Amino acid sequence: MNESSLPVLLFALLVLTSGLPAAIDPYPTFGDRRIRFPDVPGYCTLKCDFHIHTIFSDGKVWPNMRVEEAVREGLDAIAITDHLEWNPHRADVPFPDQNRSYDIAVKAVEGRPLIVVRGAEITRRMPPEKDEPGHLNALFLQDANKLKQEDAFEVLKEARRQGAFVTWNHPSWLRQTPDGIARVTPLHKRLLDDNLIQGIEVANSNEYSTESLQIALDRNLAILGCSDIHAPIEWIYPGEESSHRPITFVFAKEKTEASLKEALLARRTAVWWKNSLIGRHDNLLPLLHASIAVKSEGYEWETSTFSFLPKTTVLNVRLTNSTDANFILCNVSGYRMHNQTGTFILPAHGNIPLQFNLLQKLPRVSLKFEVLNALIAPDKHAIIEFSVDAQPDNPTAVKKDRLP
Protein backbone atom coordinates (compact mmCIF):
# COMPACT_ATOMS: atom_id res chain seq x y z
CA MET A 1 0.00 0.00 0.00
CA ASN A 2 1.42 3.43 -0.90
CA GLU A 3 0.82 6.64 1.00
CA SER A 4 -1.43 8.08 -1.70
CA SER A 5 -4.03 5.29 -1.30
CA LEU A 6 -4.32 5.63 2.50
CA PRO A 7 -6.73 8.63 2.51
CA VAL A 8 -9.01 6.81 0.06
CA LEU A 9 -9.14 3.74 2.29
CA LEU A 10 -9.81 5.81 5.39
CA PHE A 11 -12.66 7.64 3.61
CA ALA A 12 -14.19 4.32 2.46
CA LEU A 13 -13.99 2.94 6.00
CA LEU A 14 -15.72 6.06 7.35
CA VAL A 15 -18.56 5.70 4.84
CA LEU A 16 -19.04 2.01 5.61
CA THR A 17 -19.15 2.46 9.39
CA SER A 18 -20.98 5.77 9.71
CA GLY A 19 -24.38 4.10 9.64
CA LEU A 20 -23.63 1.49 12.31
CA PRO A 21 -25.27 1.95 15.73
CA ALA A 22 -23.05 2.61 18.72
CA ALA A 23 -24.21 -0.67 20.29
CA ILE A 24 -26.00 -3.60 18.69
CA ASP A 25 -29.24 -4.58 20.42
CA PRO A 26 -29.20 -8.37 20.96
CA TYR A 27 -33.02 -8.36 20.83
CA PRO A 28 -33.85 -5.83 18.10
CA THR A 29 -37.43 -4.58 17.87
CA PHE A 30 -39.20 -3.97 14.59
CA GLY A 31 -41.40 -1.01 15.43
CA ASP A 32 -43.38 -0.44 18.60
CA ARG A 33 -44.94 -3.76 19.57
CA ARG A 34 -46.57 -2.68 22.86
CA ILE A 35 -50.22 -3.71 23.18
CA ARG A 36 -52.35 -0.86 24.53
CA PHE A 37 -55.74 -1.18 26.17
CA PRO A 38 -57.06 0.85 29.12
CA ASP A 39 -57.88 -0.16 32.67
CA VAL A 40 -61.55 -0.33 33.62
CA PRO A 41 -63.29 1.16 36.67
CA GLY A 42 -62.10 -0.69 39.76
CA TYR A 43 -59.71 -3.06 37.97
CA CYS A 44 -56.39 -3.22 36.14
CA THR A 45 -56.64 -4.64 32.62
CA LEU A 46 -53.85 -7.23 32.62
CA LYS A 47 -52.70 -8.42 29.20
CA CYS A 48 -51.84 -12.12 29.39
CA ASP A 49 -50.82 -15.12 27.31
CA PHE A 50 -51.37 -18.36 29.24
CA HIS A 51 -50.22 -20.84 26.57
CA ILE A 52 -46.64 -20.65 25.28
CA HIS A 53 -43.90 -23.20 24.60
CA THR A 54 -40.11 -23.29 24.76
CA ILE A 55 -37.29 -25.60 23.73
CA PHE A 56 -38.11 -27.65 26.85
CA SER A 57 -41.00 -29.26 24.95
CA ASP A 58 -41.65 -28.64 21.26
CA GLY A 59 -40.95 -24.91 21.09
CA LYS A 60 -38.13 -23.28 19.15
CA VAL A 61 -36.78 -20.73 21.65
CA TRP A 62 -35.16 -20.62 25.08
CA PRO A 63 -37.44 -19.54 27.99
CA ASN A 64 -35.69 -16.19 28.47
CA MET A 65 -36.72 -15.25 24.90
CA ARG A 66 -40.37 -15.70 25.85
CA VAL A 67 -39.76 -13.16 28.59
CA GLU A 68 -38.11 -10.72 26.17
CA GLU A 69 -40.97 -11.04 23.70
CA ALA A 70 -43.60 -10.47 26.38
CA VAL A 71 -41.83 -7.45 27.86
CA ARG A 72 -41.47 -5.82 24.43
CA GLU A 73 -45.19 -6.31 23.79
CA GLY A 74 -46.10 -4.81 27.15
CA LEU A 75 -47.73 -7.98 28.47
CA ASP A 76 -48.44 -8.21 32.18
CA ALA A 77 -48.35 -11.99 32.59
CA ILE A 78 -47.35 -15.14 30.73
CA ALA A 79 -47.47 -18.82 31.59
CA ILE A 80 -44.76 -21.21 30.40
CA THR A 81 -46.79 -24.32 29.50
CA ASP A 82 -44.40 -26.88 28.10
CA HIS A 83 -45.85 -30.32 27.39
CA LEU A 84 -45.58 -32.93 30.11
CA GLU A 85 -45.82 -35.90 27.77
CA TRP A 86 -44.32 -34.53 24.55
CA ASN A 87 -40.66 -33.44 24.57
CA PRO A 88 -39.09 -34.05 21.13
CA HIS A 89 -35.93 -32.09 22.03
CA ARG A 90 -35.12 -34.11 25.13
CA ALA A 91 -32.24 -35.94 23.41
CA ASP A 92 -30.55 -32.60 22.72
CA VAL A 93 -31.78 -30.70 25.80
CA PRO A 94 -32.04 -33.36 28.53
CA PHE A 95 -33.67 -32.20 31.73
CA PRO A 96 -34.91 -34.22 34.71
CA ASP A 97 -36.93 -31.34 36.15
CA GLN A 98 -40.24 -30.39 34.50
CA ASN A 99 -40.01 -26.98 36.22
CA ARG A 100 -36.77 -26.03 34.46
CA SER A 101 -38.27 -23.78 31.77
CA TYR A 102 -40.19 -21.84 34.44
CA ASP A 103 -37.07 -21.43 36.58
CA ILE A 104 -35.12 -19.97 33.64
CA ALA A 105 -37.96 -17.58 32.79
CA VAL A 106 -38.31 -16.41 36.41
CA LYS A 107 -34.60 -15.66 36.52
CA ALA A 108 -34.88 -13.66 33.29
CA VAL A 109 -37.83 -11.64 34.57
CA GLU A 110 -36.10 -10.30 37.68
CA GLY A 111 -36.61 -6.54 37.81
CA ARG A 112 -38.96 -6.61 34.80
CA PRO A 113 -42.65 -5.62 34.83
CA LEU A 114 -43.90 -9.12 34.01
CA ILE A 115 -45.51 -11.97 35.98
CA VAL A 116 -44.42 -15.48 35.00
CA VAL A 117 -46.86 -18.20 36.03
CA ARG A 118 -45.67 -21.76 36.56
CA GLY A 119 -47.66 -24.02 34.26
CA ALA A 120 -47.63 -27.22 32.24
CA GLU A 121 -49.64 -28.68 29.38
CA ILE A 122 -51.23 -32.04 30.06
CA THR A 123 -50.99 -33.66 26.63
CA ARG A 124 -53.44 -36.51 26.04
CA ARG A 125 -55.64 -37.87 23.27
CA MET A 126 -59.34 -37.17 22.85
CA PRO A 127 -62.47 -39.35 22.73
CA PRO A 128 -63.44 -41.41 20.85
CA GLU A 129 -59.82 -42.29 20.04
CA LYS A 130 -59.10 -42.76 23.72
CA ASP A 131 -60.88 -42.04 26.98
CA GLU A 132 -58.62 -39.07 27.75
CA PRO A 133 -59.31 -35.32 28.00
CA GLY A 134 -57.14 -33.95 25.18
CA HIS A 135 -54.86 -31.02 26.01
CA LEU A 136 -55.23 -29.07 29.26
CA ASN A 137 -53.11 -26.36 30.83
CA ALA A 138 -52.54 -26.38 34.58
CA LEU A 139 -51.60 -22.88 35.79
CA PHE A 140 -50.24 -21.66 39.15
CA LEU A 141 -48.63 -25.02 39.89
CA GLN A 142 -46.29 -25.61 42.81
CA ASP A 143 -44.41 -28.53 41.20
CA ALA A 144 -45.01 -29.67 37.62
CA ASN A 145 -43.07 -32.91 38.22
CA LYS A 146 -45.90 -34.30 40.34
CA LEU A 147 -48.23 -34.22 37.33
CA LYS A 148 -46.23 -36.89 35.51
CA GLN A 149 -48.73 -39.69 36.11
CA GLU A 150 -50.40 -42.25 33.87
CA ASP A 151 -54.04 -41.72 34.82
CA ALA A 152 -55.43 -38.40 33.54
CA PHE A 153 -57.91 -38.08 36.41
CA GLU A 154 -55.11 -38.48 38.93
CA VAL A 155 -53.11 -35.81 37.09
CA LEU A 156 -56.01 -33.37 37.38
CA LYS A 157 -56.61 -34.27 41.00
CA GLU A 158 -52.95 -33.53 41.73
CA ALA A 159 -53.34 -30.20 39.94
CA ARG A 160 -56.30 -29.43 42.19
CA ARG A 161 -54.27 -30.37 45.29
CA GLN A 162 -51.71 -27.81 44.19
CA GLY A 163 -54.40 -25.15 43.76
CA ALA A 164 -54.00 -25.01 40.00
CA PHE A 165 -56.32 -23.25 37.58
CA VAL A 166 -56.99 -25.70 34.71
CA THR A 167 -57.96 -24.69 31.18
CA TRP A 168 -59.32 -26.79 28.33
CA ASN A 169 -57.07 -26.08 25.35
CA HIS A 170 -58.23 -25.70 21.74
CA PRO A 171 -61.32 -28.01 21.97
CA SER A 172 -61.92 -27.60 18.23
CA TRP A 173 -58.34 -28.43 17.16
CA LEU A 174 -58.62 -30.32 13.88
CA ARG A 175 -55.96 -32.88 14.79
CA GLN A 176 -58.15 -34.15 17.61
CA THR A 177 -61.59 -32.95 16.45
CA PRO A 178 -61.66 -33.46 12.66
CA ASP A 179 -64.95 -31.62 12.11
CA GLY A 180 -63.77 -28.60 14.13
CA ILE A 181 -66.79 -28.68 16.46
CA ALA A 182 -66.08 -28.46 20.19
CA ARG A 183 -68.26 -30.80 22.24
CA VAL A 184 -68.64 -31.69 25.89
CA THR A 185 -67.95 -35.43 25.81
CA PRO A 186 -69.09 -37.65 28.70
CA LEU A 187 -65.50 -37.54 29.99
CA HIS A 188 -65.38 -33.75 29.89
CA LYS A 189 -68.77 -33.58 31.58
CA ARG A 190 -67.32 -35.58 34.47
CA LEU A 191 -64.33 -33.27 34.67
CA LEU A 192 -66.52 -30.17 34.58
CA ASP A 193 -68.97 -31.57 37.13
CA ASP A 194 -66.04 -32.30 39.45
CA ASN A 195 -64.71 -28.74 38.93
CA LEU A 196 -61.45 -30.08 37.54
CA ILE A 197 -61.61 -27.57 34.64
CA GLN A 198 -62.17 -23.84 35.24
CA GLY A 199 -61.40 -22.20 31.89
CA ILE A 200 -61.59 -22.84 28.15
CA GLU A 201 -59.79 -21.44 25.11
CA VAL A 202 -62.32 -19.96 22.70
CA ALA A 203 -59.43 -18.70 20.55
CA ASN A 204 -56.11 -20.44 20.06
CA SER A 205 -53.53 -19.26 17.56
CA ASN A 206 -55.40 -19.05 14.22
CA GLU A 207 -58.60 -20.78 15.41
CA TYR A 208 -61.81 -19.48 16.98
CA SER A 209 -64.56 -21.78 18.23
CA THR A 210 -68.09 -20.47 18.62
CA GLU A 211 -69.03 -23.75 20.32
CA SER A 212 -66.27 -23.24 22.90
CA LEU A 213 -67.68 -19.80 23.67
CA GLN A 214 -71.11 -21.33 24.25
CA ILE A 215 -69.57 -24.02 26.49
CA ALA A 216 -67.89 -21.27 28.51
CA LEU A 217 -71.22 -19.48 28.98
CA ASP A 218 -73.16 -22.68 29.75
CA ARG A 219 -70.61 -24.08 32.21
CA ASN A 220 -69.41 -20.79 33.75
CA LEU A 221 -65.81 -21.17 32.54
CA ALA A 222 -63.26 -18.40 32.17
CA ILE A 223 -63.05 -17.26 28.54
CA LEU A 224 -59.46 -17.43 27.28
CA GLY A 225 -57.55 -16.60 24.12
CA CYS A 226 -53.93 -17.76 23.76
CA SER A 227 -51.16 -17.77 21.19
CA ASP A 228 -49.97 -21.37 21.81
CA ILE A 229 -46.76 -20.00 20.34
CA HIS A 230 -43.91 -22.38 19.42
CA ALA A 231 -41.82 -20.29 17.02
CA PRO A 232 -40.39 -16.80 17.68
CA ILE A 233 -43.38 -14.52 18.15
CA GLU A 234 -42.44 -12.21 15.25
CA TRP A 235 -42.43 -15.11 12.81
CA ILE A 236 -46.15 -15.68 13.41
CA TYR A 237 -47.32 -12.20 14.46
CA PRO A 238 -45.14 -9.61 12.69
CA GLY A 239 -47.02 -6.73 14.29
CA GLU A 240 -48.87 -5.52 11.22
CA GLU A 241 -52.52 -4.49 11.37
CA SER A 242 -54.72 -7.36 12.61
CA SER A 243 -51.58 -9.47 13.07
CA HIS A 244 -51.29 -9.45 16.82
CA ARG A 245 -50.72 -12.14 19.43
CA PRO A 246 -54.04 -13.51 20.75
CA ILE A 247 -54.27 -12.49 24.39
CA THR A 248 -56.52 -12.80 27.42
CA PHE A 249 -57.50 -9.66 29.30
CA VAL A 250 -57.77 -10.36 33.02
CA PHE A 251 -59.51 -7.68 35.07
CA ALA A 252 -57.61 -7.87 38.35
CA LYS A 253 -57.68 -5.74 41.48
CA GLU A 254 -53.92 -5.24 41.23
CA LYS A 255 -50.96 -6.48 39.24
CA THR A 256 -49.93 -9.44 41.38
CA GLU A 257 -50.01 -13.18 40.80
CA ALA A 258 -52.52 -13.65 43.63
CA SER A 259 -54.85 -11.01 42.18
CA LEU A 260 -54.43 -12.50 38.70
CA LYS A 261 -55.54 -15.91 39.95
CA GLU A 262 -58.46 -14.43 41.91
CA ALA A 263 -59.74 -12.69 38.78
CA LEU A 264 -59.50 -15.89 36.74
CA LEU A 265 -61.44 -17.79 39.38
CA ALA A 266 -64.04 -14.98 39.32
CA ARG A 267 -64.22 -15.31 35.48
CA ARG A 268 -63.29 -11.65 34.90
CA THR A 269 -61.71 -12.17 31.49
CA ALA A 270 -62.06 -11.22 27.84
CA VAL A 271 -60.16 -12.08 24.66
CA TRP A 272 -58.54 -10.06 21.89
CA TRP A 273 -58.13 -12.19 18.77
CA LYS A 274 -57.70 -11.04 15.15
CA ASN A 275 -58.97 -7.55 16.00
CA SER A 276 -62.06 -9.01 17.70
CA LEU A 277 -63.02 -8.79 21.36
CA ILE A 278 -64.78 -11.77 22.93
CA GLY A 279 -66.18 -11.98 26.43
CA ARG A 280 -69.15 -11.88 28.74
CA HIS A 281 -71.33 -8.78 28.60
CA ASP A 282 -70.42 -7.71 32.15
CA ASN A 283 -66.70 -7.94 31.37
CA LEU A 284 -66.65 -6.57 27.83
CA LEU A 285 -68.89 -3.51 28.24
CA PRO A 286 -66.65 -1.71 30.78
CA LEU A 287 -63.64 -2.30 28.53
CA LEU A 288 -65.47 -0.89 25.51
CA HIS A 289 -66.60 2.18 27.42
CA ALA A 290 -63.09 2.75 28.74
CA SER A 291 -61.79 2.45 25.16
CA ILE A 292 -64.20 4.73 23.31
CA ALA A 293 -64.79 8.37 24.24
CA VAL A 294 -67.65 10.49 22.87
CA LYS A 295 -67.49 14.26 22.64
CA SER A 296 -70.13 16.66 21.38
CA GLU A 297 -68.95 19.46 19.10
CA GLY A 298 -72.33 21.20 18.99
CA TYR A 299 -74.97 21.62 16.33
CA GLU A 300 -73.85 22.39 12.80
CA TRP A 301 -73.36 26.17 12.28
CA GLU A 302 -74.73 26.87 15.77
CA THR A 303 -71.78 29.13 16.60
CA SER A 304 -71.25 30.52 13.09
CA THR A 305 -70.74 34.28 12.81
CA PHE A 306 -72.38 34.31 9.37
CA SER A 307 -76.03 35.22 9.79
CA PHE A 308 -77.01 33.66 6.48
CA LEU A 309 -76.10 30.16 7.74
CA PRO A 310 -79.14 28.49 9.29
CA LYS A 311 -79.10 26.95 12.75
CA THR A 312 -79.50 23.23 12.08
CA THR A 313 -80.67 20.17 13.98
CA VAL A 314 -77.60 18.18 12.89
CA LEU A 315 -75.40 17.36 15.89
CA ASN A 316 -71.63 17.00 15.47
CA VAL A 317 -70.02 14.29 17.59
CA ARG A 318 -66.44 13.01 17.70
CA LEU A 319 -65.58 9.45 18.70
CA THR A 320 -62.04 8.69 19.95
CA ASN A 321 -60.43 5.26 20.30
CA SER A 322 -57.58 4.78 22.83
CA THR A 323 -56.82 1.12 21.97
CA ASP A 324 -55.00 -1.04 19.41
CA ALA A 325 -58.31 -2.39 18.07
CA ASN A 326 -60.04 -1.04 14.98
CA PHE A 327 -63.66 -0.97 16.14
CA ILE A 328 -66.33 -1.75 13.56
CA LEU A 329 -69.41 0.18 14.68
CA CYS A 330 -72.98 0.15 13.46
CA ASN A 331 -75.27 3.01 14.40
CA VAL A 332 -78.39 1.73 16.23
CA SER A 333 -79.26 5.05 17.89
CA GLY A 334 -82.50 5.62 16.03
CA TYR A 335 -81.05 8.74 14.40
CA ARG A 336 -79.80 8.79 10.82
CA MET A 337 -76.20 9.83 10.34
CA HIS A 338 -75.53 12.68 7.93
CA ASN A 339 -71.87 12.02 7.02
CA GLN A 340 -71.58 8.22 7.33
CA THR A 341 -73.46 5.13 6.34
CA GLY A 342 -74.82 3.05 9.19
CA THR A 343 -71.55 1.11 9.57
CA PHE A 344 -68.09 2.61 9.89
CA ILE A 345 -64.63 1.94 11.37
CA LEU A 346 -63.25 3.77 14.40
CA PRO A 347 -59.50 3.39 13.83
CA ALA A 348 -57.03 2.31 16.50
CA HIS A 349 -55.69 5.31 18.43
CA GLY A 350 -57.69 7.56 16.15
CA ASN A 351 -60.92 9.51 16.02
CA ILE A 352 -63.77 10.10 13.62
CA PRO A 353 -66.38 12.89 13.29
CA LEU A 354 -70.02 11.89 13.08
CA GLN A 355 -73.13 13.93 12.28
CA PHE A 356 -76.58 12.90 13.51
CA ASN A 357 -79.89 14.16 12.08
CA LEU A 358 -81.90 14.68 15.28
CA LEU A 359 -84.74 16.61 13.55
CA GLN A 360 -85.03 18.79 16.65
CA LYS A 361 -82.68 20.61 19.03
CA LEU A 362 -82.15 18.32 22.01
CA PRO A 363 -80.07 19.27 25.07
CA ARG A 364 -78.95 15.66 25.55
CA VAL A 365 -78.95 12.69 23.21
CA SER A 366 -78.56 8.95 23.66
CA LEU A 367 -76.24 7.35 21.10
CA LYS A 368 -76.03 3.58 20.64
CA PHE A 369 -73.61 1.53 18.58
CA GLU A 370 -73.42 -2.17 17.87
CA VAL A 371 -69.76 -3.22 18.01
CA LEU A 372 -69.55 -5.73 15.18
CA ASN A 373 -66.15 -7.04 16.26
CA ALA A 374 -67.11 -7.52 19.92
CA LEU A 375 -68.87 -10.81 20.75
CA ILE A 376 -70.72 -11.39 24.03
CA ALA A 377 -72.20 -14.72 22.88
CA PRO A 378 -72.15 -16.73 19.64
CA ASP A 379 -73.31 -14.39 16.85
CA LYS A 380 -74.32 -11.71 19.38
CA HIS A 381 -72.50 -8.37 19.40
CA ALA A 382 -72.01 -5.94 22.23
CA ILE A 383 -74.00 -2.70 22.16
CA ILE A 384 -72.58 0.42 23.79
CA GLU A 385 -74.69 3.43 24.74
CA PHE A 386 -73.62 6.97 25.57
CA SER A 387 -75.71 9.78 27.00
CA VAL A 388 -74.13 12.91 25.55
CA ASP A 389 -74.65 16.54 26.52
CA ALA A 390 -75.20 18.31 23.20
CA GLN A 391 -73.44 21.50 24.36
CA PRO A 392 -69.83 21.52 23.14
CA ASP A 393 -68.58 23.21 26.35
CA ASN A 394 -69.81 20.27 28.42
CA PRO A 395 -69.11 17.20 26.27
CA THR A 396 -68.70 14.55 28.97
CA ALA A 397 -70.38 11.27 28.03
CA VAL A 398 -72.10 9.33 30.78
CA LYS A 399 -70.60 5.87 30.47
CA LYS A 400 -72.72 2.96 31.56
CA ASP A 401 -71.94 -0.57 32.72
CA ARG A 402 -69.31 -1.38 35.35
CA LEU A 403 -67.73 -4.65 36.28
CA PRO A 404 -69.49 -6.29 39.24
Same domain, 198 and 235: yes
Same domain, 269 and 309: no
Task: Decide if pLDDT at 26 tops 50.
Answer: no
105-115 pLDDT per residue, tens:
999 999 999 99
Query: What's the structural domain count of the chain?
Result: 2
Same domain, 274 and 293: no
Same domain, 167 and 49: yes
pTM: 0.88
- Using left for φ > 0, alpha for ψ between -120 and 50, and beta otherwise, residue 379 falls in left
192-247 pLDDT per residue, tens:
999 999 999 999 999 999 999 999 999 999 999 999 999 999 999 987 665 899 99
Same domain, 383 and 238: no
Let me know if residue 25 belongs to a domain. no
- Using left for φ > 0, alpha for ψ between -120 and 50, and beta otherwise, residue 35 falls in beta
pLDDT for residue 168: 97
329-346 pLDDT per residue, tens:
999 999 999 999 999 999
Confidence of residue 31 (pLDDT cuts 50, 70, 90): low
DSSP 8-state class, residue 338: S
Let me know if residue 64 belongs to a domain. yes
Kindly provide the b/e burial profile for residues 303-325, where b requires at least 16 CB atoms within 10 angstroms of the residue's own CB.
eeeeeeeeebebbbbebebbbbb
pLDDT for residue 130: 84
Give the least confident one: 6-15, 78-87, 162-171: 6-15
Let me know if residue 375 belongs to a domain. yes
pLDDT for residue 215: 98
Number of CB atoms found within 10 A of residue 235's CB: 11
Let me know if residue 52 belongs to a domain. yes
Task: Decide if pLDDT at 27 tops 70.
Answer: no
pLDDT for residue 11: 39
Let me know if residue 19 belongs to a domain. no
Same domain, 84 and 229: yes
DSSP 8-state class, residue 42: T
Same domain, 384 and 314: yes
Among 221, 246, 279, the domain-final residue is: 279
Mean pLDDT of 18-47: 71
Where is pLDDT greater, at 310 or 217?
217
Same domain, 275 and 294: no
Q: Are 277 and 290 in contact (CB under 8 A)?
A: no
**223: containing domain:** 30-279
256-298 pLDDT per residue, tens:
999 999 999 999 999 999 999 999 999 999 999 999 999 999 9
Same domain, 95 and 67: yes
Confidence of residue 128 (pLDDT cuts 50, 70, 90): confident
Q: Tell me, what CATH number does 360's domain have?
A: 2.60.40
The closest alpha carbon to 332, from 381, 287, 401, belongs to: 381
Let me know if residue 215 belongs to a domain. yes
Where is pLDDT greater, at 184 or 404?
184
Same domain, 247 and 105: yes
In terms of average pLDDT, the best of 12-21, 128-137, 291-300 is 291-300
Q: What is the DSSP code string of 134-195? A: -EEEEES-S-GGGG--S-HHHHHHHHHHTT-EEEE--TT-TTT-TT------HHHHHHHHTT
Same domain, 265 and 320: no
Task: Decide if pLDDT at 24 tops 50.
Answer: no
With a pLDDT cut of 90, the percent of the chain lying above it is 78
Q: What is the mean pLDDT of the chain?
A: 89
Mean pLDDT of 374-393: 93
Task: Decide if pLDDT at 403 tops 70.
Answer: no
Among 279, 296, 312, the domain-final residue is: 279
Give the least confident one: 13-17, 285-289, 317-321, 368-372: 13-17
pLDDT for residue 21: 42
pLDDT for residue 305: 73
Confidence of residue 155 (pLDDT cuts 50, 70, 90): very high
Q: Tell me, what CATH number does 213's domain have?
A: 3.20.20.140
Among 229, 251, 279, the domain-final residue is: 279
Let me know if residue 125 belongs to a domain. yes
Cα 295–chain centre separation: 27
Number of CB atoms found within 10 A of residue 301's CB: 15
Let me know if residue 404 belongs to a domain. no
pLDDT for residue 242: 59
Same domain, 265 and 317: no
Task: Decide if pLDDT at 12 tops 80.
Answer: no
Secondary structure (3-state) at 210: helix
